[in-house]
Structure 1
Amino acid sequence: MQTNSIHLIDYIIIILTLVVSLGVGVRFARQQKSTGKYFTGSGKLPSWAIGISILATLISSITFLAYPGEGYATNWIRLVQGLMVPIVLIFAIGFIVPLFRHVIKLSAYEYFEKRFGFGARLYSSLAFVLTHFSKMGTVFYIIALAIGKMMGLDTVTVIWVIGAAVIVLTMLGGIEAVIWLDVIQGFMLIAGGIVALAILLFSTPGGPSEIWTVAKENGRIGFGPFDMEFVHLTFWVMALNGIFYAIQKYGTDQTIVQRYLTAKSDKEAIKASLIGVLLSVPVWALFMFIGTALFSYYHISGDVLPAGIKNDEVFPFFIMTKMPVGVVGIIISALIAAAVSSLDSDLNCLSAIALEDYYLRFRPKSSEKEQVMLSKIFIVLAGLGAIAVAMFYVKAGGKGVLGIVFTLYAIFSGGIAGMFLLGIVSKRPNKKGLYFGIAASVLFTTWALLTSTPIGSSSKEVLLLDFGKYNFNQHKYMIGVYSHVILFVVGFVASYFYRTKEIDDRLTYRGWLKYKKNNLN
């Protein structure tokens, strides 16, 4: 992908962005003397800042690059998943947020131990670790690849520069630095997207109306197909994925649950969550529409794209060839900010899990000083681990490794949203029933992935495991949906064959409402 050379002014803007990021980490470094301060900010952060931080955590550099690529290549069907999130959470957030604030200390997976025992906590926390290591490695690789091509830098060098910056600022400043930096980066991300879209809209002959007309004529406007089937990518496939994504992200993901604990009160935490959710959808839509506008621009203007350019490379190419000096630096800085705001949150939360779910189980009486020191070490180790995953991607040319990592995660962490629903639905589901549900979910996911994943590079598709007509033949996105449903159904039914022990009333939906009525009103 050939581009214009980047100007000195753009370099200065990008370097200043990294310096400010490190400065925020240094600013909060001296205050981190306890794990409560390091991981939850002592529960004193304002709701609006937490909300912007949730937004920045959800919007990574993958959004910055992949959404325009999808909008350029097809219509808005992949936006449907995000549209489901506020619909689900408007009804559930008032229960989920105060539940976690009152029944856990730090780890979201403490809830599962209280509800189903240590095995459930181990399964769910390992699922978080696996998915976020794969996610961080992917973010490092994609951002480094894009910036390397745009700025003429080596991919490995970019990985190490951004990786070192993220590790240092997260290690020094704790969750407060993460949240306040996310606020800055969140505004940068939104501003970068708005500037890019404005330039697209008003540099295209015919302006916004012509962009819309061309996009509509070429099938780039809309959320279809709406066929009621799950074999191909349809509206309903994405909608079902969005429902379970919302439950899993806001009910079981440490990066979001930990944000609930940083607020001053239940009311402030709910407000922060709603801010994050309701802002995320417009930002996703913004970057999706940038892709739509790019499609129309290149059809209307007659400008020629390089031969063989990939869909997710079109936006970076436009930035480097059509944006004025200074604006290029701002948008690349926003792209880096999108990566940093996702990665710093992941590192802080992985450290919290390593400390709370594992280390303190063996050394519960360790001092605060020791815990803070180890938390920082865990951040460094997690950051280096994510960089190592990105390096594997580099060596593999971006092929193979990503699929393996996501496949392993899908097999061994399927059904987490189903586990959460099983826990809150009633007192009847129990530990042994859950284990049957987990086993059924893992077996199903293993079968579905192995019988639907091709291997080799030949024109003839060869599956990892071929059972003929008994192969999984629906769209792969449905594997995640079914894994949650299977865990819930099997776990619920199997629980009737075993005696259920008494549990804390607050751990179920009805019990929580009763507790809230008697103690919080």
Structure 2
Amino acid sequence: MKHIPLFDLFIILAYMLAMVLVGLWFSKKGKSADQFTRASGKIPGWAIGLSIYATFLSSNTFLGVPGKAFGSNWNAFVFSLSMPLAAWIAAKYFIPFYRQTGEVSAYTHLEHRFGAWARTYAVVCFLLTQFARMGSVFFGIALSLQALTGYSMATIIIVVGIIIIIYTVLGGIEAVIWTEVVQAVVKTLGAILILVLIVYNMPGGVGHIVEIGQRDGKFSLGSFFPDFTTSTFWVVLLYGFFINLNNFGMDQNYVQRYHTTTSEKEAEKSLWLCVKLYLPASLLFLVIGASLYAYYQVHPELSEGIRMQAAAERLPVGATQASIAQLAGTLQPSDYGDKVMPNFMVTSIPTGLVGLIIAAILSAAMSTISSGMNASATVFTEDIYKRYFSRNATDKQTMRSLYLSTFIFGMVGIICGVAMIGVKSILDLWWELSGIFAAGMLGLFLLGISSRRTNNVEAFIATIIGILVIVWMTFPTLIPDEHSALRNVLHKNMIIVVGTMTIFLVGLLLPKIKNLFKPVHQ
């Protein structure tokens, strides 16, 4: 068991207590469903922008992005490069659409367009995405805090999860937004502090980091060859565009914030503020990853310890040291990248700064998870509870549903986090799961706003075909070995691209095909 100095422990406890007190403060104001889900539309655009930025900057970014840069290169930065185009489309088309409809849920309009099945399908896809997001974020924070504190990962996930549930249930979306404003600052300063410490401890400083990075290709954005079977520049660019289009255009976490601003113009400003902040921030985390790679190149004895830990986790309990050492010798940097940041914190951060770093990691997780809990509860209440169980629900009944569903979804997120313990790469896992679940609802949404000729039945057929394509791409082993030529060979990040376009294009073509078979009247 590692022991955190009392001063650092005080910082951590003070930060977590402050988050609970924020929830208590806003609970005095959150007496209505409108306040809980929209903050009565009184939040300034700059605060919403910081809130959206904080939601993007989760522990998946804090650990996963440096881990990817350590294990490979800066290929993940291409994801960020796709954000401006997705944000431009969202600002021009999606924000005005949502502000005009006035619906707090991002999926209510799908019922008006295609029927109740479309609305419910999108909600299910969104909830699955949130469970994957919350689980991966919980796992990320546990990975760091376990290295720093010695407590089991499951214990960390449960304790942190309960605290997040408390302030999210108490304060609603307003508490979530204002805590995220603070968390956006804390986590950014924490990342800068980590980079400063790496450079300070690195023999030769920045020059040596750049030298090693250039030698081993750490600054590459990936291959520009038009190959869609590996993680090339184009694969990540397409993936990033479709995921960010889904984030800004269909994800309840972001759509709900558009309704909390005072005007449409403020909502647009908040979106662009997020993009302007996240682009350099994501680059910062890639710089951290490349710097950590250089640091462990000059300190091979430290990387040996990480490899041994990673190997031990892959083998059954009770494995011999010889077998662990044998496996450790075969591991590549990409096999243990997510463990490098926690290891650096344990071995190289001086007393007095550990608490600040842990607070930054906590803030990275809390912002995303609390946002996911509130958004999931809002969607469930608006699109499931009030649609199927209580169409004329009173404000008191609505609030009861919001409170209860926030708690339940928070517990589901905790369970998902515990279930993910032991995965190889946080970022890879999150990208894969989000691509699978988001593909269907994004394709249906784009079809709904682009084609007035596609009817309910045609949209349903297109969605079924899209789901089959997604399943085919996700589970290639379902196809027997004798027909292996029919298996998907595209990279897993292409699932959202192909799945979305399948639903969209099939939905556009079906009305035209139907017209070909219409009888010609003389």
Same fold (TM over 0.5): yes
1:444 aligns with 2:442: no
Task: Give the number of equivalent residue pairs.
Answer: 486
Aligned counterpart for 2:447 among listed residues 407, 422, 436: 422
Which residue is equivalent to 1:342?
368
Aligned counterpart for 1:468 among listed residues 476, 484, 494: 484
CA contact (8 A) 2:147 2:343 kept: no
TM-score (norm 2): 0.88
Aligned counterpart for 2:124 among listed residues 123, 126, 137: 126
- Write the distance in 2 (CA, Å) between the matches of 1:98 and 1:297: 48
CA contact (8 A) 1:134 1:406 kept: no
The 1:466/1:185 distance shift into structure 2, 3 A limit, reads: farther
Q: 1:371 is matched by which residue type in structure 2?
A: T
After TM superposition, list the pairs within 5 Å mapping 1:483-498 onto structure 2. Answer: 483-496=499-512
Q: 1:363 is matched by which residue type in structure 2?
A: S
Deviation at 1:38, TM superposition (A): 0.5
- Write the distance in 1 (CA, Å) between the matches of 2:236 and 2:132: 22
Q: 2:71 is matched by which residue type in structure 1?
A: A
- Write the distance in 2 (CA, Å) between the matches of 1:165 and 1:497: 55
1:247 aligns with 2:272: no
Q: 1:253 is matched by which residue type in structure 2?
A: D
CA contact (8 A) 1:226 1:234 kept: yes
* Unpaired segments ≥5 residues, structure 1: 454-462, 500-521
TM-score (norm 1): 0.88
- Write the distance in 2 (CA, Å) between the matches of 1:494 and 1:232: 32
Secondary structure, counterpart of 2:498 in structure 1: helix
- Write the distance in 1 (CA, Å) between the matches of 2:159 and 2:181: 22
Secondary structure, counterpart of 2:439 in structure 1: coil
Which residue is equivalent to 1:387?
414
The 1:66/1:355 distance shift into structure 2, 3 A limit, reads: same
* Unpaired segments ≥5 residues, structure 2: 311-335, 516-522
CA contact (8 A) 1:452 1:472 kept: no
The 1:404/1:70 distance shift into structure 2, 3 A limit, reads: closer
Aligned counterpart for 1:107 among listed residues 93, 105, 108: 105
Q: 2:491 is matched by which residue type in structure 1?
A: H
Which residue is equivalent to 1:355?
381
Deviations 1:189-224, CA, capped at 9 Å, x for gaps = 100001111122233222212211210111001202
Deviation at 1:114, TM superposition (A): 2.1
- Write the distance in 2 (CA, Å) between the matches of 1:345 and 1:156: 21
Deviation at 1:285, TM superposition (A): 1.2
Secondary structure, counterpart of 1:472 in structure 2: coil
Secondary structure, counterpart of 1:271 in structure 2: helix
Deviations 1:335-393, CA, capped at 9 Å, x for gaps = 01111000000000111011100111131222112211221111111111222223334
After TM superposition, list the pairs within 5 Å mapping 1:32-431 onto structure 2. Answer: 32-300=30-298, 304-305=302-303, 306=305, 307-308=307-308, 309=310, 310-361=336-387, 362-394=389-421, 397-398=422-423, 414-431=439-456
Which residue is equivalent to 1:517?
none
Which residue is equivalent to 1:480?
496
The 1:302/1:131 distance shift into structure 2, 3 A limit, reads: closer
Deviation at 1:410, TM superposition (A): 6.2
The 1:224/1:353 distance shift into structure 2, 3 A limit, reads: same
The 1:243/1:227 distance shift into structure 2, 3 A limit, reads: same
Secondary structure, counterpart of 1:219 in structure 2: coil
- Write the distance in 1 (CA, Å) between the matches of 2:459 and 2:261: 32
CA contact (8 A) 1:432 1:495 kept: no
- Write the distance in 1 (CA, Å) between the matches of 2:349 and 2:514: 65
CA contact (8 A) 2:43 2:262 kept: yes
- Write the distance in 2 (CA, Å) between the matches of 1:381 and 1:241: 31
Q: 2:355 is matched by which residue type in structure 1?
A: G
Deviation at 1:301, TM superposition (A): 5.2
The 1:347/1:67 distance shift into structure 2, 3 A limit, reads: same
Secondary structure, counterpart of 2:386 in structure 1: helix
- Write the distance in 2 (CA, Å) between the matches of 1:192 and 1:30: 31
CA contact (8 A) 2:435 2:493 kept: no
- Write the distance in 1 (CA, Å) between the matches of 2:222 and 2:206: 23
Percent identity between the aligned chains?
A: 35
The 1:495/1:408 distance shift into structure 2, 3 A limit, reads: farther
CA contact (8 A) 1:14 1:332 kept: yes
- Write the distance in 2 (CA, Å) between the matches of 1:408 and 1:96: 24
The 1:238/1:412 distance shift into structure 2, 3 A limit, reads: closer
Deviation at 1:450, TM superposition (A): 2.1
- Write the distance in 2 (CA, Å) between the matches of 1:328 and 1:408: 32
Q: 2:440 is matched by which residue type in structure 1?
A: G
Q: 1:489 is matched by which residue type in structure 2?
A: L
Deviations 1:432-463, CA, capped at 9 Å, x for gaps = 2211211111111112222158xxxxxxxxx7
Q: 1:243 is matched by which residue type in structure 2?
A: F
Deviation at 1:156, TM superposition (A): 2.2
Moved more, 383-392 or 302-311: 302-311
CA contact (8 A) 1:192 1:331 kept: yes
The 1:468/1:261 distance shift into structure 2, 3 A limit, reads: same
Q: 2:396 is matched by which residue type in structure 1?
A: K
CA contact (8 A) 1:106 1:258 kept: yes
- Write the distance in 2 (CA, Å) between the matches of 1:398 and 1:412: 19
- Write the distance in 2 (CA, Å) between the matches of 1:237 and 1:403: 14
- Write the distance in 1 (CA, Å) between the matches of 2:191 and 2:147: 20
Deviation at 1:408, TM superposition (A): 8.4
CA contact (8 A) 2:191 2:285 kept: yes
Deviation at 1:110, TM superposition (A): 1.1
CA contact (8 A) 1:166 1:343 kept: yes
CA contact (8 A) 2:126 2:437 kept: no
